[in-house]
């Protein structure tokens, strides 16, 4: 899993690029990076899933915990370019009602 987390001054938000699998093997690194980013910048979060291939329940759990932190200070979290087959996982678990999701064409 290749994860890039950076703060964008122009958009005033944390931009995240997920590449590969967000699963039991990668969630700890992702959570650590996001905790550090949110500590420094209490702002909106935009997660790009263009290169995300797979997500399991631990990945979903980390996204939910990040969303809770973002909502604590009134921020918005969006998930962009989520592949349709990954969107189904969010739909089956009821998370489409929780997250702002943009599905890739």
Provide the pLDDT for residue 18. 96
Q: Quote the crossing angle between the two packed helices 27-40 and 57-72, to the nearest 10°.
A: 10
CA distance 89 to 105: 17
| CATH (domain of 71) | 3.30.750.24
CA distances to 26, 56, 70 from 1, rounded to whole Å, are 6, 13, 23
Share of the chain above pLDDT 90, in %: 93
Structural domain containing residue 87: 2-103
Total domains, the chain:
1
Poorest-confidence range of 6-10, 27-31, 36-40, 95-99?
6-10
Strand partners, 13: 8, 44
- The pTM of this model reads 0.94
pLDDT at 96: 95
């Amino acid at each position: 899993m290749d994860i890039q987390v950076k703060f964008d001054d122009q958009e005033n938000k944390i931009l995240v690029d997920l590449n590969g699998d967000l699963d039991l093997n990668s969630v700890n690194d992702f959570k650590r990076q996001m905790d550090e980013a949110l500590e420094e910048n209490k702002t909106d979060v935009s997660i790009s899933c263009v290169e995300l291939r797979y997500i399991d329940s631990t990945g979903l759990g980390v996204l939910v915990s990040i969303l809770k932190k973002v909502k604590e200070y009134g921020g918005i979290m969006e998930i962009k370019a989520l592949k349709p087959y990954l969107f189904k996982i969010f739909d089956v678990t009821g998370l489409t009602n929780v997250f702002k999701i943009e599905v890739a064409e």
